[in-house]
Amino acid sequence: MSGRKAEESGMPKSKPRRTPTWLRRPGRWVSQNGVFASIVAWLLVHYLKFVFRTNSWVVEPEDILDQVAPELPVIVSVWHGQHVLLPAIPIGLSGAVMISRSLDGEITARVAEAFGAKTIRASGGRNPRHTLSKGALRGFLEMLATLEGGESVLQTADIPKGTPRRAGPGIIALARKSGRPIVPLAVASSRRWVLPKSWDRTTINRPFGKSAIVAGERIKVAANAGPEELEKARIRLQNEMDRVTRRAYELTGVPEPEDADVSGEER
C-alpha cells in the first residue's frame, strides 16, 4: 500500500528511507567541496544536454507556451524525483528554482545555474522546528519577490523527504499570496533508471529514447481563500499533477508499473 493510501485509510504510513550515516558524512564533504562539486556539475550538465538531444520529444498541449504567455509570471509545479531533466529543456519558462539545502544541493544548484536558472537555496523539510534554520521563510519571500518582479518560478509540489507525490501547503500558499497561477508540469522518458531506494524514486532519464513533457490545467488560488478553499486547491493540484505525470509516461510508450509505488513499496 502506498504511503498516501495508508494515510487516507488511517493505517500507519511507512517512514521515508533516510540516507545512512556512513553515506551522509562523505556526501556532506563532497557537496561542500567546491572543486569536486564543479566537476560533477560539469559532467551532469553535459549528460543532460546529451539526453535531451538524443531523445525524440512530444509536447502536450503543443501550444502550452501560447496558453501560458498571457498569465506570466507563473509557478511551475513538478514532483520530486521527476525533475532531473528539466533544466536542459528549453521550454521557454525561464525563472527561479528553489533548491533545498540538502547534501546534493550545491551540485544541483550549479547545474541549474549552468542552464540559466536563478537559484534560491531553502528547504522547509518535514519538521516545522527546522523551518527557520533551513531558510524556508526566506525562500518563500524570495520566491514571492521573484514573482512580483515579473519572473516565473519552479517549485516541487511535494515536501522534501515527506510523502512522495503528495502536494504540500507551501506551493498553495505561494499561489495565494502572489496571485499567480500554478502550472502543473511532468517530464518522462521511455528509457530511464529509477533509484528504488530513494524516498521519491528519483528517475534518471537516459539517451536514445522517447520523451514527453505535459502541462496541466492552471490552478488558481483566491487571495481571500480560507482553510477549506486552500485544502481544495491543494487536492486539485495533487490530482492534476498525478494526471499529467501519468499522461507523460503514457506518451513515452513505457508507463510506470502499476505496482510500483513512489515510496518504494508494493501497493
- Close Cβ partners of 31 (under 8 Å, ≥ 6 residues apart): 37, 102, 103, 104, 105, 106, 107
Q: Is the model's pLDDT at 264 over the cut of 50?
A: no
∠ CA 78-219-200, nearest 5°, is 20
What 14-17 contacts at long range (C-beta under 8 Å, 24+ apart), as own/partner pairs, is 14/263, 14/265, 16/161, 16/162, 16/163, 16/164, 16/199, 16/263, 17/197, 17/198, 17/199, 17/264
Report residue 78: phi and psi, to 5°.
-135, 165
Measured distance CA(187)–CA(83) in Å, rounded? 7
Q: By mean pLDDT, which of 102-111, 140-149, 190-199 is the weakest?
A: 102-111
Q: Whole-model pTM above 0.75?
A: yes
Instruction: Please give the pLDDT value at position 131.
Output: 43
Instruction: Please give the pLDDT value at position 266.
Output: 31
What is the share, in percent, of the chain residues with pLDDT greater than 90?
A: 51
C-alpha cell at 181: 497561477
Q: Could you tell me where the beta strands, DSSP code E, fall in the chain? A: 56-60, 75-78, 95-99, 118-121, 152-156, 182-189, 192-194, 203-205, 210-215
C-alpha cell at 152: 516565473
Measured distance CA(203)–CA(191) in Å, rounded? 10
Tell me the chain's radius of gyration from C-alpha atoms: 18
pLDDT band of residue 129 (cuts 50, 70, 90) is very low
Q: Which pLDDT tens digit goes with each residue over 54-84? A: 999 999 999 998 999 999 999 999 999 898 8
Instruction: Please give the pLDDT value at position 121.
Output: 78
Q: Is the model's pLDDT at 98 over the cut of 90?
A: no
**CATH architecture entry for 18-252:** 3-Layer(aba) Sandwich (3.40)
Instruction: Please give the pLDDT value at position 204.
Output: 94
Using the structure block, give the residue that is written with the C-alpha cell 521527476: 82
Q: Would you say how long the chain is, in residues? A: 267
